[in-house]
Structure 1
Amino acid sequence: MPFADELLGHQQVSAMVKLLQSAAGSHQLSATRATAEGLDGLALGARSSHLAASILEDLPVAYPEFAAIVRRALESSSLEGWMVWPISNAVSAAAIADGGAAAFDDGMQLLAELTPRLTCEWAVRPMLRARLERALEIMLEWTRSDNEHVRRLASEGTRPYLPWGTRVPEITRDARLCIPILDALYRDDSEVVRRSVANHLNDISRHDATLVCETAAAWLADGDEQTPRLVRHALRTLVKRGDPDALALLGFGSAEVVVDGPTLDRASMVLGEELLITASITNRGQVAADLVVDYVVHHVKADGSRTPKTFKISTTRLAPGATLGISKRHAVRPITTRRYHSGVHAIELQVNGIRHGFAEFDLVLDPVC
C-alpha cells in the first residue's frame, strides 16, 4: 500500500480544506489548517482521526447545519478519494453527538452519499456501536440501493473483523445479526459486492464455523452461476483448517489416498534460505478423487512451542491408481507479519483436511561463521 503521505498528504488535505471552506461560508477552518501542517510521521488512520476532530472543532454547529455544509462540499466532484475519510468520520461523530433519531438517520444517509467517493466502512462502525438495531435496519435497506458502493457498504461495514475498523462487540458475539444483509447480497450483480460478502462470511469463520457452513450450503442450494466461486472464497479459512463440513460443501470429501512424505531437502537452514518439500499422493480408490492439497508449517514461537500455518499447494482431480508428485519450495525469509525464532520447526502435508507425515528442520537465525 502507498505511504500515508501519498494517500492523505498535504496536497489532498489542502484540497479538502479548500472544498470545505467554500461550503462553510463564514466559518474559518483554522484548526483543520493547523492540523494539516502537523501530519508528518502519522499513519493514515491517525491522520484521518486528527483531521476529523479538527473539522468538528472548526464547525461547532448543530448537526443539520453541519450536514448541509458537507452536502454543499459534495456538490463538487473534486471531493473524492482519501480526503473523504476524515469527513465521513466527522459526519458519524456529529450525528452521534446530536443524540437524536433524526440526526442519526440522516448521518447514515449522508454516509451513503459519501461512500461512492470513498468507502465509509470505517465511519459507519461508530454508528453501529451507538444504535446497532437501527443501523442494521438502515443497512438492510442499503442492500436494495441502485449504487453498488452503497450495497457493498452494507456488507463491508458490518464485517466482524473489518481491517482498520473498530470492533462492534454485538456483531462479533452474534454474527447471525448480519446474515439477512448477506442473504440479500450474495447474488448481487456486482463483483465488488459479492467479494465483500465472501470476506464477511470468511470473517465469521473465525468464531462460528457452523453458521458459515449452514449459510454457504443454503446459498449453494439457491444460487446462480457466480455463487460457487463466492462460496469457495468465503470458505478459504475453513478449508485451510481442514474443516470437514466446508470441504464437503466444495466437493472434497474423504478419499482413499496413500501419502508418501513430506520429505525435506535439508535438516537445517538459515533464515533467508528456501526449503524444498517433496511428496507423492496415490489414489488407491476405485473412483477419481477430488483433492485439495496444502502443507502446514509449524513455526517455533518465542516460548519454544509451535504454532501451525497452512499454505496452499494445489487443487486437483486424481484418477484411480494415479500418483501426484509434489515439489514445493518454501521460503523462510523475514516478513512484516511474522517473527521467526530459532528452533526445530516442522512440516506436514494436508490432503482434504487430513494431515500426513511430520518432517522437522532446524531454523538458525544467527549462523556461526
Structure 2
Amino acid sequence: MPTADELISADTVSNLARLLARAARRPDSPALRARAATLGGLAFSGRVAAVRDAVLADLPEDWPAFEAVLRTALEDPGFAGWMTFPVNEAVGVRGLAAFEPGLALLRDLTPRLTAESAVRPFLRADPARALAVVGGWTGDPDPHVRRLVSEGTRPRLPWAPQLPAFIADPRPAVPLLDALYRDGSEYVRRSVANHLNDISRDHPALAVEIAAKWRTDPAPTTDRVVRHGLRTLVKAGRPDALTLLGHSPDVEVTVTGPVVTTPHVVVGEYLVFDYAVTHTGALPAELVVDYVVQHVKANGARTPKVFKLTTRGMAPGETLTGTKRHSFKPITTRRYHSGEHLVQIQVNGRVRGEAAFTLDAAP
C-alpha cells in the first residue's frame, strides 16, 4: 500500500501550488508553497488537512471567485490524481455556503480523484437537500460520478466521517442504490454492494429486504452484488441472508475436524488444521464453509472472527477436504493475548466442529 509521502508528497503539493497559481492568474500560492516544505512526519489524514487549509488560504474567500479558479484548473489535464484530494476537501468546507454549486463542483472534480469524502459534509449538514442533488447523478454518463452517489452516501465509509443520520435510518439513500445495482460498471456495482454491507451492520433485516427486492428484477450481475453486499451477514450466520442466497442453515453435513496439527502457536507463527466436510443429504446443496477463530481477550473471554474457506455446490455423498494455515503474524488492527483459543468449522452459518489450541503472545 502506498505511503502518505507517496500519495501526497512535497512534489505533489508544489505542483498543485504552481497549477492553482496559474489558474488564479497570480504569481504564487504562498500557503501551499510553505506547506510543501513542512509535510514531514504527517500521516495521510494530517497531510490532507494541512494541504486543504493551505488551499483555502491561497484561494479567494468568496465562493464565485473560489469556484472560478478551480474550474479554470479543471481545464488543465495535469490537475489530477492525489493533488486534487485535499482540493475536494476544501470544496467541502467553502462550498457548504453555496451548497448546490458546491456539490456540482464536486461532481466535476470526482473524475480526477474521488470526492467521496468531500461530499459528506453536505450530507451531514442537510441530508434531504443533498440527496435531492446527488440523486440526479445516478444517470450521469461518467461512472466516477455514479459511483460518487453510492460511495459518498455510505453510512460507514472507511477513512471518512460517518453519516449518523444514515446509520440511524439508511432508507432515504436506498432509492439511489435501487437505481444503481444494475449499473453497467463493475466499479459502480462494487460500491453499491459495499453500501449494502454498511446497511447490514446496523439494519440486517432491511439489507436482506433490499437484496430480495433486487433479486426480483435482476441483471446477470445482480447475484454477485447481493452476495458481496450480504457477506457480513453470511459470515455471522444470519439465517434469512443465508436462505436468500440458497444456503440452508439446516443442510445435512458431517464435519471431521478441525484437527489441529499445531496445538501450541507462538505469535508470528501459523495455526495449522485439517478438516473434512461431507454432504449427507439426498439433494445437491450450496455450502458456505468458513472457519472461526475464537480469540482470547485481555479479560479471558473469547471473541470470534470469521474467515472464509470456500463457497461451492456439493453433490450428495461428496466430501470436501483441506488444510488451512492461519497466520498469527502481528497486525496493527488486533492485539493478541496468551491463552486457550478455539478454532471452529462453520457450515452455512452454523458451527459444526471445534478444537482448542494455545497461543503464546509473550514478546
Partner of 1:298: 294
- CA offset at residue 229 of structure 1? 1.0
Specify the SS of the correspondent of 2:95. Answer: helix
Specify the SS of the correspondent of 2:69. Answer: helix
Is structure 2 residue 323 aligned with structure 1 residue 321? no
> 1:160-199 to 2 correspondence within 5 Å?
160-199=155-194
Partner of 2:343: 347
**1:159·1:203 contact (CA, 8 Å) conserved in 2?**
yes
Partner of 1:248: 243
2-structure distance, mates of 1:252, 1:65 = 58
**1:17·1:29 contact (CA, 8 Å) conserved in 2?**
yes
Partner of 2:85: 85
Structure 2, gaps ≥5 residues long: none
1-structure distance, mates of 2:343, 2:191 = 33
**1:297·1:348 contact (CA, 8 Å) conserved in 2?**
yes
> 1:152-163 to 2 correspondence within 5 Å?
152-163=147-158
1-structure distance, mates of 2:15, 2:275 = 58
- CA offset at residue 28 of structure 1? 4.7
Is structure 2 residue 140 aligned with structure 1 residue 145? yes
2-structure distance, mates of 1:338, 1:174 = 30
2-structure distance, mates of 1:123, 1:350 = 40
**2:295·2:341 contact (CA, 8 Å) conserved in 1?**
yes
Specify which of 102, 110, 113 is matched with residue 107 of structure 1.
102
Specify the SS of the correspondent of 1:242. Answer: coil
Specify which of 323, 334, 356 is matched with residue 352 of structure 2.
356
- CA offset at residue 25 of structure 1? 2.3
Partner of 2:273: 277
**1:27·1:59 contact (CA, 8 Å) conserved in 2?**
no
2-structure distance, mates of 1:4, 1:275 = 33
Structure 1, gaps ≥5 residues long: none
2-structure distance, mates of 1:217, 1:283 = 27
2-structure distance, mates of 1:193, 1:322 = 38
248-257 or 276-285, which deviates more: 276-285
- CA offset at residue 115 of structure 1? 0.3
Matched residue type, 2:309: I
- CA offset at residue 335 of structure 1? 1.8
- CA offset at residue 60 of structure 1? 4.0
**1:27·1:58 contact (CA, 8 Å) conserved in 2?**
no
Specify the SS of the correspondent of 2:146. Answer: helix
310-319 or 113-122, which deviates more: 310-319
**2:189·2:225 contact (CA, 8 Å) conserved in 1?**
yes
Cα deviations across residues 82-119 of structure 1 (Å, max 9, x unaligned)? 000111111121112xx3xxx21000000000000000
Specify which of 197, 219, 223 is matched with residue 224 of structure 1.
219
Matched residue type, 1:141: G
Specify the SS of the correspondent of 2:156. Answer: coil
2-structure distance, mates of 1:115, 1:47 = 19
> 1:110-149 to 2 correspondence within 5 Å?
110-149=105-144
Specify the SS of the correspondent of 2:201. Answer: coil
- CA offset at residue 178 of structure 1? 0.9
- CA offset at residue 27 of structure 1? 7.5
- CA offset at residue 43 of structure 1? 1.4
Specify the SS of the correspondent of 2:293. Answer: strand
- Displaced runs of 4+ in structure 1, greater than 6 A? none
Cα deviations across residues 255-314 of structure 1 (Å, max 9, x unaligned)? 111222222113222112222212222222211222110010001112221110001111
Specify the SS of the correspondent of 2:202. Answer: coil
Cα deviations across residues 104-162 of structure 1 (Å, max 9, x unaligned)? 10000000000000000011111111221111111110101111100000000011111
What percent identity do the matched residue pairs reach? 52
Matched residue type, 1:301: K
Q: Give TM-score, length-normalised by structure 1.
A: 0.95
- CA offset at residue 67 of structure 1? 0.4
Between the two proteins, the alignment pairs up a number of residues equal to 362
Partner of 1:47: 47
Is structure 2 residue 232 aligned with structure 1 residue 237? yes
Specify which of 209, 222, 225 is matched with residue 204 of structure 2.
209
Is structure 2 residue 282 aligned with structure 1 residue 286? yes
